[in-house]
């Protein structure tokens, strides 16, 4: 079993940590909101003072913070990167941009490895371990992280670092286009179902 640092216990992260605990992993957790951390601790996780503390001693660190919080959670003396030791893999689950991913990649300590592990699926899938993890990164880092990330659902290797983010952005565009098409079709059907103005039903 592994020691996993998990930073970010929002709607998704709070439902993913229990899968790691049930699998027998030691999980060190951190979140900006103390009540979220307390919820995970009540299930068996270990509270960490800050993201750097969550990363210390971990075999794998998982970041599931909101996109806007990525720089603060990863950089600086209390950030994840300052707690990483050589050989450790950091998997970023956040939906972000290639530029932000490269920012974190450039700041990674020597001997550590970064994966983008973006998620397909919402809160229900996170609770049911039915997510799809789009995993991008080097082969050795992927091999080290994949068995643990598989606790969340299906892991799909999509290529080098940045591929996960790219595939997720494409997925989002396709989903939005499909939703727009469905809304348009529904509006068309509603308009056809309404009787013309001035015509009496009888």
Dist. CA 170–CA 62, nearest whole Å: 23
pTM of the predicted model as reported, rounded to 2 decimal places: 0.83
The residue to which tokens 């603060």 are assigned: 72
Out of 137, 168, 183, 189, which one is annotated catalytic? 168
Specify whether the CB–CB gap between 104 and 70 falls below 8 A.
Answer: yes
Q: Give the pLDDT of residue 129.
A: 97
pLDDT in tens, 86-119: 999 999 998 888 889 999 999 999 999 999 999 9
Q: What is the mean predicted confidence (pLDDT) over 147-156?
A: 96
So what's the pLDDT on residue 183?
A: 54
Q: Which domains does the chain have, with CATH numbers?
A: 3-176 (3.40.50.720)
The pLDDT-based confidence of 188 (bands split at 50, 70, 90) is very low
| Highest mean predicted confidence (pLDDT) among 2-6, 154-158, 167-171, 172-176 | 2-6
Q: Is 82 a catalytic residue?
A: no
Whose structure tokens read 């999980």?
A: 27
């Amino acid at each position: 079993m592994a020691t996993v640092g998990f930073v970010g216990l929002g709607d998704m992260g709070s439902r993913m940590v229990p899968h790691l605990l049930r699998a027998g992993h030691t999980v060190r957790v951190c979140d900006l909101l103390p009540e979220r951390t307390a919820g995970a601790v009540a299930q068996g996780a270990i509270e960490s003072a800050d993201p750097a503390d969550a990363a210390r001693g971990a075999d794998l660190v998982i970041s599931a913070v909101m996109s806007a919080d990525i720089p603060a959670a990863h950089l600086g003396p209390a950030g994840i990167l300052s707690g990483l030791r050589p050989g450790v893999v950091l998997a970023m689950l956040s939906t972000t941009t290639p530029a932000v991913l490269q920012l974190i990649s450039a700041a990674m300590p020597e001997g550590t490895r970064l994966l983008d592990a973006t998620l397909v699926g919402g809160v229900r899938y996170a609770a049911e371990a039915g997510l799809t993890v789009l995993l991008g990164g080097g082969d050795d880092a992927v091999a080290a992280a994949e068995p643990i990330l598989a606790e969340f659902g299906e892991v799909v290797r999509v290529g080098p670092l940045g591929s996960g983010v790219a595939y997720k952005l494409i997925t989002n565009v396709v989903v939005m286009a499909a939703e727009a098409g469905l809304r348009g079709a529904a509006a068309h059907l509603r308009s056809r179902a309404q009787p013309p103005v001035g015509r009496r039903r009888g």
